[in-house]
Structure 1
Amino acid sequence: MSTNQNYNPDELESLEWLNPKFFTEVLIQYENAPDLKLNDLKLSPASAQGDHYASVMFRASVEYSTVKGNISKSLIVKTMSDQGGQKKRMVNDSHIFQTEIAMYTELLPKFEGILRDAGVECKLFVPCIYHSLRPRQVLIFEDLVAQGYQVIRNRSATLDELRSALEKLAKWHAVSHKLLKEQPELFEELQYNISTLPNFLNQSFITNALPNFIYMLAELEGLKKYKHYFEAMRGNLIQQWADTLGEYRKSPQENSYYVLCHGDFHIRNLMFKNSSCMLLDFQLSHVGPLVNDFLYAMYMLFSAEDRGKRRDELINYYLEVFANTLKKIGYRGKAPSFEEFQRQMIDKRHNEFMLLTTFLPMQISARKNAIDPFRRRTSMYKDKDYQEEVAYLLERMNNLGYFVDIQNSIKS
């Protein structure tokens, strides 16, 4: 295994059970070939540091033979870390693997089938060739890198890449929106989002984010005027954000558009090939408000320029694909207009406040430093690019009325 510092520490040594016996059994099942013989196995880390957080991933290069001849494949193994620490404590008792297995084996194939029957060609996911919850939580996929796909790491996504990603998200959302109306029981297993990960809301990078953000506002002359709004959120922003994510299950609203949210739609969970994209990592998929996934993408996928100059253009593109897909698959209800979508974004503003104060500084830090941003929390708020964008975003929020209710509560 590699010792390169660019990889996640818990992926530098392969797990003991990832051995020739295990892969032989997997390949026999996959190929339906009892006579299969594994000739060679090489393991290496499958992702760069910061690409993902909840699990570990290895690349397995296998060579094997059957009665059909010799075959070489590159596979991706996704499983739980054997190391202890914060990551294992957070995800060991979660439902992330159950969720992802349900996505790969039930929901995503169904979505693709509905789109295909409507004449809409859309590949949403790479095939999962093996999955198990016991004795270990593990999924194995075909390797997209071997097919020419790449993760974007050292640059922002181009406009064509963003449109490709939003197109797939909109089609996915459209199918799930229709199915939620017709067959809500299909989504019963998908009740868990990022805020329901064990002890996640008590992690220091979550609890310290708003105080760090408020301190930054107080230190900058042009941002002091917003400090009292965020002071008013102390003690309740995290829970209001969690409530927004879990709204469909706990307190569904009549005026909300609900879909199956990807739940973690950021730049490292997409792979691109000639501006065409493939979606990855469905461990946090859950039913929630339609705007939530778009807001998350806006902060974790878009560049600063996209969040600024192209925001409305990209919203309109997403909404156009969403509405057209609903029509093609035979849904007779209405799709949200741009104005209604904007109102929904304001209604779910605690989601955006959380993204602005907590997730955006980590995203900017990760893009610049290629390190684990969870370990450099305070310094992230001193980043000039982050501070300049906060000034721009807060002004826009203020102009759109994000702080009206907060201002009224402060006055009363």
Structure 2
Amino acid sequence: MPFENGQKKNVFEESIIFETEIDMYTQVLPRFEQILRDVGDDTILKAPILFHELSPRKIIIFEDIVPLGYELLRGRYTNVEEIKQSYIKLAKWHTLSYKVNLEEPGCFDEYHISIFAMPNLDRNLLMWQGTDAFIQQLETMPKMQKYLPFIQSIQGKLFEDTKRTAKEYFDAPKEDAIYVLYCGDFHDKCYI
């Protein structure tokens, strides 16, 4: 938990983000990885947690996975291959969550207090400017120009639509909808 006053402390202080993350990293993601192992897929979806506690101070310490060949991006954008690898992992995450939820309806109900319940999230620039940064990146990639109109059409709406869909799942899920457990902090500074 951040101890210095500022935006991060304001966002995390009144949330249950640490409780949720600890559960995700100790229960949900190991289960997803086991399902992958059972079909011969050795994809790693998370860094291992070395230590966690909620009291007297909320803290999570992850294993440093840089020695395993991962890189924390600083000072540059992701390249095409890195983007592909990131989205392959995210697609597996979504597929596994969809599968588990189909087989065990309601198994993710305890996560109804999601990132969208965090105080001051609506004012977080990352939530509003993420699509802008994505569009800027696409504009530098000639082969991706065909996707620009679609991404531009959701510009300014993505955050609110995602928030609405999360609420819909818990309040009045649609029969024909596809709901997945989303990663609330998937961004271009993630390990690749």
Same fold (TM over 0.5): yes
Shift of 1:117: 0.8
Shift of 1:204: 7.7
Letter in 2 for 1:256: A
Decide whether aligned partners of structure 1 residues 117 and 250 sit closer, same or farther in structure 2, where only a CA change above 3 A counts.
same
Shift of 1:184: 3.1
1:178 is aligned to 2:103: no
Decide whether aligned partners of structure 1 residues 146 and 204 sit closer, same or farther in structure 2, where only a CA change above 3 A counts.
closer
Partners of 1:245 and 1:195 lie apart in 2 by: 8
- Aligned positions of 1:11-410 closer than 5 A: 80-201=1-122, 203=123, 205=125, 242-268=163-189, 270-272=190-192
Partners of 2:64 and 2:91 lie apart in 1 by: 25
Classify the secondary structure of the residue corresponding to 1:258: coil
Shift of 1:85: 3.5
Classify the secondary structure of the residue corresponding to 2:191: strand
Classify the secondary structure of the residue corresponding to 1:129: strand
Asked if structure 2 preserves the Cα contact closer than 8 Å seen for 1:99 and 1:189, the reply is no
Decide whether aligned partners of structure 1 residues 153 and 204 sit closer, same or farther in structure 2, where only a CA change above 3 A counts.
closer
What is the alpha-carbon root mean square deviation over aligned residues? 2.7
Point out where structure 1 has 5 or more consecutive residues left out of the alignment: 1-79, 210-228, 273-412
Asked if structure 2 preserves the Cα contact closer than 8 Å seen for 1:130 and 1:139, the reply is yes
Shift of 1:136: 0.9
TM-score (norm. length: structure 2) = 0.74
Larger strand proportion of the pair: 1
Partners of 2:124 and 2:71 lie apart in 1 by: 32
Percent of matched pairs sharing the same residue:
40
Number of positions where the alignment pairs a residue of Structure 1 with one of Structure 2: 166
Classify the secondary structure of the residue corresponding to 1:104: helix
Q: What per-residue deviation string (whole Å, max 9, x for no partner) do you get for residues 177-227 of structure 1?
A: 1110112343132223332111323x3859x98xxxxxxxxxxxxxxxxxx
Partners of 2:40 and 2:57 lie apart in 1 by: 39
Structure showing greater radius of gyration is 1
Shift of 1:240: 5.2
Point out where structure 2 has 5 or more consecutive residues left out of the alignment: 130-152
Partners of 2:84 and 2:46 lie apart in 1 by: 17
Partners of 1:240 and 1:166 lie apart in 2 by: 20
Q: What per-residue deviation string (whole Å, max 9, x for no partner) do you get for residues 134-185 of structure 1?
A: 1111111211223332122333222221211111111111111111011234
Letter in 1 for 2:76: R
Q: What per-residue deviation string (whole Å, max 9, x for no partner) do you get for residues 331-360 of structure 1?
A: xxxxxxxxxxxxxxxxxxxxxxxxxxxxxx
Partners of 1:136 and 1:267 lie apart in 2 by: 29
Decide whether aligned partners of structure 1 residues 143 and 189 sit closer, same or farther in structure 2, where only a CA change above 3 A counts.
same
Write out the 4+ residue segments of structure 1 that deviate beyond 4 Å after TM superposition.
236-241
Q: What per-residue deviation string (whole Å, max 9, x for no partner) do you get for residues 9-61 of structure 1?
A: xxxxxxxxxxxxxxxxxxxxxxxxxxxxxxxxxxxxxxxxxxxxxxxxxxxxx
Letter in 2 for 1:83: E
Partners of 1:103 and 1:238 lie apart in 2 by: 22
Shift of 1:263: 2.1
